[in-house]
Chains A and B, each alone.
Chain A
Amino acid sequence: MKEIIKIENLSKFFELHNLGKYIKACQNISFTLHEGEFIGITGKSGSGKSTILKCIYRTYLPKGGCIWYRSKLYGVINLAKASDRQIIHLRKKEIGYVSQFLNVMPRTTAREIVQKAVLDIGYDIDYAKEEAENMLSHFELDQELWDTYPNTFSGGEKLRLNIASAMVKKPRLLLLDEPTASLDNESKKLVKVLLEKLKAKGTSMIGIFHDLEFMEGVCDREFNMKTGNFTV
Chain B
Amino acid sequence: MYDKEQPILTIKNLRKQFGKGCTICRDLDDKNIQKNFCPVCQTVYACRDVSFELYPAEILGVVGESGSGKSTLMKCLYFDQDVTSGEAYIQGYKNGNANIFAETSQQKKYIRNHLFGMVYQNPYLGLRMNFSSVGNIAEKLIGAGSRNVGFMTGRAQELLGNVNIPIYRMKEAPKNFSGGMQQRVQIAKALSNNPPILLLDEVTTGLDLSVQANVLDLIKKIQRDLKISMLVVSHDLSVIRMLADRTIVMLNGKIIEQGLTDQILEDPQHPYTQQLVHSLL
Contact = CB atoms under 8 A, between A and B. Distances in A.
Interface stretch (B41-49, B172-180, B269-277): B269-277
Interface stretch (B22-30, B146-154, B259-267): B259-267
Interface residues of B, number: 23
Contact of A60 (B246, B263, B270): B263
A15 B246 CA distance: 22
A131 to B, nearest CB: 18
A116 to B, nearest CB: 8
Contacts of A18: 271, 274-275, 278
Contact of A84 (B3, B259, B269, B274): B259
B2 A84 contact: no
Given A17-B274, A73-B2, A105-B220, A61 B262 contact: no
A85 B213 CA distance: 27
Interface string A54-66: 1000111100000
A87 B260 contact: yes
Nearest to B55: A85
A84 B217 contact: no
Nearest to B262: A59
Contacts of B245: 88
Interface string A115-143: 00000000000000000000000000000
Contacts of A16: 274
Contacts of A88: 245-246, 260
Given A58-B263, A59-B263, A61-B269, A89 B242 contact: no
Contacts of B271: 17-18
Q: Which of A14, A60, A73, A84 has the most CB of B within 10 A?
A: A84
Nearest to B5: A85
B246 A59 contact: no
B242 to A, nearest CB: 6
Contact of B242 (A61, A73, A106): A106
B267 A74 contact: no
Contacts, number: 49
B260 A89 contact: no
A86 B271 CA distance: 26
B259 A89 contact: no
A44 interface: no
A226 interface: no
Contact of A107 (B217, B259, B275): B217
Interface in A58-99: 58-61, 73-74, 84-89
B275 A14 contact: no
Interface in A1-47: 14-18
A61 B55 contact: no
A58 B267 CA distance: 10
Contacts of B260: 58-59, 84, 87-88
B2 A89 contact: yes
Nearest to A16: B274
Interface string B190-217: 0000000000000000000000010001
A10 to B, nearest CB: 14
A99 to B, nearest CB: 11
Interface in B208-249: 213, 217, 220, 242, 245-246
Given A61-B259, A85-B5, A106-B242, A54 B274 contact: no
A175 to B, nearest CB: 13
Nearest to A57: B262
A108 B2 CA distance: 29
Interface string B146-167: 0000000000000000000000
Interface string B252-264: 0000001110110
A202 B274 CA distance: 40
B269 A105 contact: no
A67 to B, nearest CB: 14
Contacts of B246: 84-85, 88
A84 B262 CA distance: 11
Nearest to A116: B224
B227 to A, nearest CB: 12
Contact of A106 (B213, B263, B266, B278): B213
A179 to B, nearest CB: 18
Nearest to B273: A17
Interface string B111-125: 000000000000000
Interface of A: 14-18, 54, 58-61, 73-74, 84-89, 105-107
- Across chains A and B, which 3 residue pairs bring their CB atoms closest together, nearest first? A17-B271, A60-B267, A59-B262
14 contacts: A16-B274, A18-B271, A18-B274, A18-B278, A54-B266, A59-B263, A60-B266, A73-B2, A74-B2, A84-B260, A85-B55, A86-B2, A87-B260, A106-B242
